Chains A and B, each alone.
Chain A
Amino acid sequence: MPAKLRPWLESRLHLGALLTLAKEKQVPQHRQQLWYYFGGIVLFFFLVQVVTGILLLLYYSPSEAGAHASVLDITAKVDFGWLIRSLHIWGAHLMVAAVLIHMFSVFFMKAYRTPRELTWLTGFCMLTLLLGFGFSGYLLPWDELAYFATQVGLGITESVPVVGKFLADLLRAGPEVTGLTLQRFFALHVVVLPLVFTAVLGLHLFLIQLHGNAAPPSYYRQPVAAQRATPFFPDFFYNDLLVWLVCLNVVSFVAAIHPWEVGPQADTLAPAPAGIHPEWYFMPLYALLKLLPAQLGPVQGQQLGIVLFSLGGLLLALVPFWDKETPTGRRGRLATYYGLFVLLATLVLTILGYVY
Chain B
Amino acid sequence: MNYPIWEVPLLGGGWVIGLIAIVHVYVSHFAIGTGFFLVYTEWKCYQSADARILAYVRHHSRFFVLLSLVTGALTGVGIWFAIGLVHPAATSALIHQFVFVWAIEWAVFLVEIASALIYYAAWERLSARQHMLVGWIYAVSAFASMIAINGILTFMLTPGHWLETRQLWDAFFNPTNWPSLALRFLVTLAIAGLFALVTAARWPEEADRVRLLRYAAKWLLPAYFLLPFLLLWYLSQVPQTALEALQSGIATVGVGTLAVLTRAAMVSIVISATVGLFAYLGPYLNPRNFSFPMAIIFLFLGLVVTGTTEWSREMLRKPYVIYGYMYSNGLLAGQEASYNQQGVLAQAKWASVRAVTAENQLAAGGELFRLQCASCHTRRGYRSMHKVLKGRDIDSLRHFLNSLADPAGPYRGIMPRLVGTPAEQEALARYLLTLSTPARTR
Contacts and interface: CB of A to CB of B under 8 A. Distances in A.
Contact of B267 (A79, A242, A245, A252): A252
Interface string B264-298: 10110011001001100110011011100110010
A75 B277 contact: no
Contact of B255 (A76, A234, A253): A76
B286 A249 contact: no
Contacts of B301: 246, 249
B271 A249 contact: yes
Contacts of A234: 285-286
B256 A259 contact: yes
A180 interface: no
A248 B274 contact: yes
Contact of A242 (B256, B271, B281): B281
Contacts of A236: 289
B263 interface: yes
Contacts of B294: 239, 242
Contact of A256 (B257, B263, B304): B263
Contact of A79 (B254, B274, B297): B254
Interface residues of B, number: 27
Interface residues of A, number: 27
Main secondary structure of the interface of B (DSSP, over half): helix
Interface stretch (A80-88, A92-100, A294-302): A80-88
A304 B282 CA distance: 52
Nearest to B289: A235
B255 A82 contact: yes
Contacts of B297: 242, 246
Nearest to A245: B274
A256 B262 CA distance: 9
Given A77-B255, A80-B254, A242-B281, A235 B288 contact: yes
A316 to B, nearest CB: 29
Interface string A51-89: 000000000000000000000000111111111000000
A238 interface: yes
A32 interface: no
Interface string A246-269: 101100110011010000000000
B286 A253 contact: no
Given A81-B255, A249-B270, A242 B282 contact: yes
Contact of A245 (B277, B285, B286, B288): B277
B281 A245 contact: yes
A276 B97 CA distance: 55
B291 to A, nearest CB: 8
A76 B258 CA distance: 10
Nearest to A33: B291
Contact of B256 (A82, A238, A241): A82
A230 interface: yes
A270 interface: no
Nearest to B288: A235
A1 interface: no
A305 B264 CA distance: 45
Interface string A302-339: 00000000000000000000000000000000000000
A34 interface: yes
